[in-house]
Chains A and B, each alone.
Chain A
Amino acid sequence: MKTKSKTIYKRPTQKSKFVNLLTTVDHKKIGIMYLYTGFTFFLVGGLEALLIRLHLAQAESTLLSAAEYNSLFTVHGFTMVFLFFMAVNSGFGNYLIPIMIGARDVAFPRMNALSYWIYFFGALFIHSTLFIGTTAPPVGGYLSEESNLFSNAVAGGWFLYQPNAGIQFSPGTATDIGVIGIIFLGVASLISAINLTVTTFNFRAKGLTFMKLPVYVWMTQVVSFLLIFSLPFITIALFTVVFDRQFGGNFYNVAMGGDPILWQHLFWLFGHPEVYILILPVFGIMSEIIPVFSRKPIFGYATLVFAGFAIGFIGFGVWAHHMFSSSIQPLAQAGFGAATMIIAIPTGIKIFNWIATMWFGKRNLNVAMLFSIAFLINFVIGGVSGVLHAVVPSVWQQTDTYFVIGHFHYVLVGGGLFGIFAGIYYWFPHVFGKKLNETIGKVHFWILFLGLHLTFLPQHWLGLQGMVRRTWWYDEGMNIEFWNLISSIGAVTILLGVLVFIFNWIFSKRKGEAAEFDPWDGRTLEWSTPLPPPEYNFYDIPKVKTRDDFWHRKYAVDEENRSVSKGKHDEIKKYTLATTLMDNSHIHLPSNSLFPFITGFGLPFLGWSLIFRGTFMSFVLLSIGILSLLVGIFGWILEPEHE
C-alpha cells in the first residue's frame, strides 16, 4: 500500500547516472562500486610498494628518507589490507551472494549502501593525511630533512605497536588520522558482515538448504562470523590508542603503569583472524571455478565447508604466534605453536580436495583456470613457509625478517590476488555481458606469475640472511644487494602484468566477445540469469532441488555416473533471454535512498574535528559531521518504504 507523503520524504527516483550512483541500493551496483574503488586502491598500494622496492634495489640508497620510507610501508599495509583486499572481497560478496542464493537483493539494502559509503569516506579520510597529516620525530629527537607529501602519513607500521605509535614517540596528526580511519573501515565491514549473514540465513531460494549452498557462500559466511567476532577487538584497541593519544589515557604508557604488550594481544586477536578474513573468500572463489572448468562437481563438499569453519575457528586461538619473541612464557609459546600447526590440517584438506576435483575431469586451461592452478601452487609454497612460523624457535630467527614478508606475500599475492584475478576473469561476463580477452589474459597471467616469484622468492633468502623488516637502510657489507635487486626487478614485472590487465579490462569492455547467457556452462544459480543480470536478478525466483542446481537443469546422469546433456540449453537460454522483455512491474525491489550517503558523509568530519581539537575549525567540522549524521539517520527513519 503506497502512502502519499510530503515531497521532502520522497525516495529518489531520478535515473541520471550520477544520482543513481549516490542513491543506489542495488547489491550488484554496490558490489561493482566496491570493486572499482578497491582496485583503485590496489593501484595506489601497488605504487607505494613499487617505491619501496625501487628504494631497496641498492644498498645505502637515498631515494627515500627514513620518514618517507616508514610512512610508505605503513600506508602500503593499510591500503592493501583494508582498502583493497577487504573492499574487493566485499565487492564479490555483495555482487554474488544474493544472486547465488536466488535472492533479489540483500536483507538490508540501505545498510548495504551505508557500508559502502562509510568505506568510501573512511578511505578518503585516511588519504586526507597527505594534506593535513603531520609527522614528527619522538619528543626530544631531531630531524634534518624537511617532511613532504610522502612522509605526511602514519608511520608506526600497520600493527601500530605501542608505545612507538603513541603520542610521545610518534607526535603529529598522521597517526590519529590513520587510527580513526581504520575505526571507520571497521564499522563498514561490521555492517556488511551482519547484512550478508542475515541475507544468507533468510533469503535463500526455496529448496536451497544449507548443505546445497555454493562453497563461496559458505566461505563468505565464515568470514562474516570472523568479522563479527574479531572487529570488536580492534575497535576497542584503536579506541584505547585514541584515548592515549588525545586524552592521556595511559593504556600503554609504561611510566603510568600501562602495558605495551596488551596492545599486541588485542591487535593480533583481530590481526590473525583478519588473515583468514582476507583469504577465505578466495578459497570460495577457487571452489566455484575449479569444478566448472573440470566439468565435475566439487570433491568432498562437506569436508571443504567444515574445513573452512575449522580454519575460522582455530584462527582465533593462534594470535600469539605473532609475538613469539615477546615476553610470553615458555608453555604459552609451545601451546600457541602447536595450535598454529593444527591450521595446516584443514588447509591441506582443501588443497587436496581441489586437486581431486581436477582428477578425471575435462580440463579447460583458460585464464581463470590458470590463475586457479597458480593459486594452488603459490598457496602451497606460502603454506609450507607458514608451518615454519609455528615452529617457535625457528620463528625467533625469522620473525621480523624478510622471510615473513616473503611468506605472507606468497599467501596474499600469490594466493589472494591470483584468486581475485581468477574470479574477475570468471565473473567478468556476468557483470558486463562480455568476456575478457583470453590471449591478453594469458600474457597478463604469465607476466604476473613470473613477477610474483621474482619478487617474493628471493625475500625468503634475504630474511634467512638477516635482512630485518621495515629497514630503510642496509649496509653494503650485509652482502644482500643481489637478491634485493632481483626482488625490485620482480616488482616492476608485476607492474607490467597489472598494466596488461588494465588494458585487457578496457579493451574487453569495449570490444570483448559477447556473452549473453551462461558462457562457461556454469553450475550455480548466478549463471541462470541473462547477462548482465537485470536489476531484479531473477524473473522467477528459482526453486532448488540439488546442489549445483543450474547444472542439473541442463544435464542428467547416465548409468556410468557421467553427465549427459538433456539438450535443453537452447530452450533455457531462449526463455531466460525472453524474460527481459516481459512485464516486470509486479517485482518488488527496494527503492533508492540518499540517506546512507549522507550518513557516511558525516563521519570523516567527526574524525577531522578530533584531529583539530581545540580550534574553532574543529567546532565547525563537528557541526557539519553531527548535522550530516542527524539528517542521514532521521531521513532514513522518516522516508517512506517505497518511492
Chain B
Amino acid sequence: MTQNKPASRYLFLFLFILSCIENAPMDSLDAQGPYAREINDLFWPIMYAGYVIFGIVLVLLILGLFVFDDKTEKEPKNIEGSNVLEVIWTVIPILIIISIAIPTVKVTMDLLKTPENAIEIEVIGQQWWFDFYYADQQISSPNLLVIPINQDISLKMNSKDVIHSFWVPKLNGKRYLVPNVDTYLNIKAEKEGLYWAQCGEFCGLSHAKMRARVLVVSNKDYKTWLIDQTLPYEATQIQDSPIYDGQQVFLNAGCTQCHEIQGFNESDVALLGPDLTHFASRSMFAGSSLNMTQENLESWLIDPPLIKPGSYMPNLELTEMEVSQLVDFLMELK
C-alpha cells in the first residue's frame, strides 16, 4: 500500500478531480502514524470490495431489466425461485463476511493493546476543552498535547462532566472520555507537525468548538518543552507598567476564581478553568477555537459566551482599559 497519497486515493475513489480537498487537517485517510495506518489498511480493501459488489449488483440489475427481459409476445414465465441460486447468494456473502471478520477481529484486538514502553499522559475532558496532564512533571497543558516523535503514547482519559470523545484523525480513531471511568487510547506519530484534534461526541452547546492541537516534536525539543513548562511565572514588581496593571486586573476582576498561574496565584483546590501559567506559549486558546492573537484575545475577554456559547467563563464586563491591560499580561505568560 502506498502511503500519504490521500488525493490520489480520493481520485480513484470518486472519479472526480478534487483539488479542493487536499490538506484537510482532519483527513482521516491521511494517516501519519501506525495506528491510523493500520485502520486505513483495513478500510481500503473492504471499501474496494464494496465497489465491486455495488458494480455487480448494478450490472445484474441492468442485465435483468434490459437484456434478459422477456421479449416474447406472451406473458413471462412464472419462475418462483431457484434453490441453487439462492444457496449461491447466501454462501458467497457468508464467505465474504468471514474474510472481512477475521482481519477485523485481529486488528481490533491489536489496536486496543497498550504497548509496554508507552508514555502515559492524562487527558481530562470538560465542557468545552481538553486538558493534558503530565503526571510525572505535574504539568497541565490545556488545549495542546505535546508528544515526542516515534514514541508510543498511551492516553489515559477521563471526563469531569459529560461524555466527550477524543479524536486525532491522522493518528488514531476516537475514544470516549467517560466521567469516572478511565479509558485508554494509543497514539504514535511518525512526522513532526501540528495535528488537529476534536471532540467527537456531542457534548452540549459548544461541542463544535471543543478542539485541541497535538504538537509532535523531536525527542530533544520534547524534553526542553517539559522543562520550560515546569517553570513558574515570575511576576513583575514594576508598578505602572502595563503588565503590572494587567496582573492587578487578573487578581481583582475575578479571574483567580477559576484560573491558576504557577508562582503567582497558586491554589490548593482544583479550579474550573485552564491553568494559565504558560498560556501564551501555545498557538491557540479557548478550546483551540481561537488563534493566539491580540485581537482574538481581546474579543474573547469582552464576551466569552458570544464566542463559545454556554461557556463557564462569564462576560466579566471589563472596561476597554482593563481588557487591554489583561491582554498585555496574558501575552507575557510564555
Instruction: Enumerate chain A interface residues (CB-CB to B < 8 A).
Output: 65-67, 70, 137-138, 140-145, 155-157, 161, 163-164, 169-170, 254, 260-261, 294-297, 299-303, 325-327, 330, 333-334, 337-338, 341-342, 344-345, 348-349, 351-353, 355-356, 358-363, 365, 373, 376-377, 380-381, 384-385, 387-388, 390-401, 461, 464-474, 477-480, 482-483, 555, 557-558, 560-565
Contacts and interface: CB of A to CB of B under 8 A. Distances in A.
A471 B207 CA distance: 6
B312 A140 contact: yes
Nearest to B109: A330
Interface string B105-124: 10111011000000000000
Interface string B296-322: 000000011110011111110000000
B173 A325 contact: yes
B81 interface: yes
Contacts of A137: 205, 305, 309-310
Interface string B167-206: 1010011111011110100000000000010111111111
Nearest to B50: A384
Contact of A142 (B51, B69, B200, B312): B312
B162 interface: yes
A67 B101 CA distance: 41
Contacts of A394: 39, 42-43, 46
Contacts of B51: 384
B46 A391 contact: yes
A565 B75 CA distance: 9
B64 A261 contact: no
B295 interface: no
B93 A144 contact: no
B162 A396 contact: no
Given A164-B203, A341-B101, A143 B310 contact: yes
Nearest to B27: A465
Given A261-B181, A480-B21, A563-B78, 7 more contacts: A161-B162, A161-B202, A164-B204, A337-B108, A391-B104, A466-B25, A561-B78
Contact of A360 (B79, B175, B198): B79
B257 to A, nearest CB: 12
B76 A400 contact: no
Contact of A163 (B20, B26, B39, B161): B161
User: Which of B78, B101, B173 has the largest number of chain A CB atoms within 10 A?
Assistant: B78
Given A138-B204, A260-B179, A562 B90 contact: no
B127 A325 contact: no
B127 to A, nearest CB: 6
B303 A144 contact: yes
Interface string B77-90: 11111100110011
B47 interface: yes
B90 A345 contact: yes
Contacts of A557: 78
24 contacts: A66-B206, A66-B310, A138-B205, A141-B205, A161-B201, A164-B204, A169-B127, A295-B70, A300-B80, A325-B176, A333-B108, A341-B104, A342-B97, A352-B85, A352-B89, A355-B60, A380-B57, A393-B39, A396-B174, A396-B175, A397-B28, A466-B24, A466-B196, A565-B75
Contact of A562 (B57, B63, B74, B272): B74
A203 to B, nearest CB: 26
Contacts of B169: 397, 466
B209 to A, nearest CB: 6
B104 A468 contact: no
Contacts of A337: 101, 104-105, 108
Contacts of A325: 165, 173-176, 200-201
Contacts of B27: 464-466
A474 B111 CA distance: 30
B10 A472 contact: no
A296 B79 contact: yes
A376 B43 contact: no
Contact of B77 (A365, A384, A562): A562
A468 B303 contact: no
Contacts of A141: 127, 205, 305, 310-312
Contacts of A469: 202
Contacts of B309: 65-67, 137, 143-145
A400 B201 contact: yes
B97 A345 contact: yes
A388 B163 CA distance: 24
CB-based closest 6 A-B pairs: A466-B26, A396-B173, A471-B208, A384-B50, A563-B75, A137-B310
Contacts of A473: 208-209
B205 A66 contact: yes
A299 B176 contact: no
Given A300-B81, A479-B25, A391 B42 contact: yes
A397 B174 contact: yes
B79 to A, nearest CB: 6
Given A169-B162, A355-B64, A388 B24 contact: no
Given A66-B205, A361-B69, A377-B58, A338 B105 contact: yes
User: Which of A140, A356, A464 has the largest number of chain B CB atoms within 10 A?
Assistant: A464
Interface of B: 10, 14, 18, 20-29, 36, 38-39, 42-43, 46-47, 50-51, 53-54, 57-58, 60-61, 63-66, 68-70, 74-82, 85-86, 89-90, 93-94, 97, 100-101, 104-105, 107-109, 111-112, 127, 161-163, 165, 167, 169, 172-176, 178-181, 183, 196, 198-209, 272, 303-306, 309-315
A142 B310 contact: yes
Contacts of A461: 10, 14, 18, 21
Given A65-B309, A394-B46, A465-B26, A330 B108 contact: yes
Given A141-B205, A395-B173, A388 B57 contact: no
Nearest to B77: A561
B171 to A, nearest CB: 11
A560 B78 CA distance: 9
Contacts of B63: 359
A326 B165 CA distance: 9
A212 B120 CA distance: 64
A66 B208 contact: yes
B279 to A, nearest CB: 21
B58 A345 contact: no
A295 B60 contact: no
Contacts of A565: 75
B162 A164 contact: yes
Contact of B50 (A156, A341, A353, A385): A385
B313 A142 contact: yes
A391 B106 CA distance: 11
Nearest to B13: A461
B305 A330 contact: no
B86 A300 contact: yes
